[in-house]
Amino acid sequence: MRYLVTGHTGFKGTWLTLMLRAKGHEVAGIALDPVDGSLYITAGVDRDVDDDRRLDIRDGPAVAAAVADIAPEVVLHLAAQPIVRSSYREPRVTFETNVNGTLNVLEAVSRTDSVRAHVVVTTDKVYRNDGRSTGYVESDPLGAADPYSTSKAMADLLTQSWSSSIAGPPVAVVRGGNVIGGGDVSEDRLIPDIVRRVTAGETPVLRNPASIRPWQHVLDCLDGYLAVVDALLRGTGHGAWNFGPRSGESVTVAEVTEAALASWPREGGWIHDDGEQPHEAALLTLDSGRASRELGWSNLLPYPESLQWVMAWHRAVADGGDPRAVTVAQVTEYLDRRGAGDA
């Protein structure tokens, strides 16, 4: 089957590309150039992409032409400005990319007859956060405080409106929790920051050590996205879907940091940057019950094992391992354990 992944040069997009190739699918991509040092570059993932288009999803005519020319059967829209703190510095870029970019993709897909299923990726941060300790469910109100989360809530509502009022292939929205995985080089992400500082002989600095997030391995989250694709192809799977860890596996930033440091021989812990910081939610958990009931999905890797996989990836690469070989080996092991079927 021919897949189109927007944002394929990013962290999630790179792992998704390798996952789809391991399942035997063709992969085309629309994205900006990868950032220096990204997994897409170090793992040589360009060789896995059958049709690699570098363009900005804010360019509607270019997106429309590319989607029509690629003629995919399945579209997974991941391209976004994904960093909360960056959204404070560049709110216009964030809104234009995450809202207008999503509109451009929706419009292009609706005009492309080959598409049989379309999945739009938003985030767990779309929910109106009231500080509850129980997980948010798909029917809870959306709303946010920071520009990133607001832009993704807007993209989420846009997609729901589009799918209910504009003719085209079936569309679903997926809302994933915080993902961790080898090779993430994004700014302001916990594990990349820890690894960068440890390898430089520095002490990790935490902005919000008590914040609680729904951590999960990137492969589990992507497996959920593909379960939705499979459901759409069967004629079900419409609406919004949460993908997060099992109940009780949302842990604090400090706990993740201490567990990560324990796997990397060194002395010392972490320090708290208690200076003024932009607003970020202190508590956020998801309820993935719908995905469990209707798709039979749950995380294969519990939180402790997810973190072990991530740190094993970084240790292997730090010890001279080939990033591609290490990544492909984890994808293969994951799919073997999951009992991979076509999606």
> Can you give the residue ranges of every domain in the chain?
2-179+216-246+286-302+322-338
* pLDDT for res 132: 83
Per residue in 111-167, pLDDT tens? 999 999 999 999 999 999 888 878 899 999 999 889 999 999 999 999 999 999 999
* pLDDT for res 250: 73
Q: What is the mean pLDDT of the chain?
A: 92
Phi, psi of 257 (to 5 degrees): -60, -45
For residue 251, name the pLDDT band (cuts at 50, 70, 90): confident
C-alpha distances out from residue 252 to 84, 195, 257, 343, Å: 18, 18, 9, 33
Task: Give me the residues paired with residue 110 across strands.
Answer: none
Contact 19, 78 (CB under 8 A): no
Nearest residue to 7 (alpha-carbon basis) of 25, 27, 36? 27
Q: Please tell us whether the domain made up of 2-179+216-246+286-302+322-338 is placed in CATH 3.30.70.2860.
A: no
pTM of the model: 0.93
* pLDDT for res 313: 96
d(CA 335, CA 222) in angstroms, rounded, equals: 11
* pLDDT for res 267: 65
User: Mean pLDDT, to the nearest integer, of 211-222?
Assistant: 90
C-alpha distances out from residue 241 to 175, 181, 221, 318, Å: 6, 21, 11, 36
* pLDDT for res 340: 55
Residue 342 has pLDDT above 60, yes or no: no
For residue 277, name the pLDDT band (cuts at 50, 70, 90): low
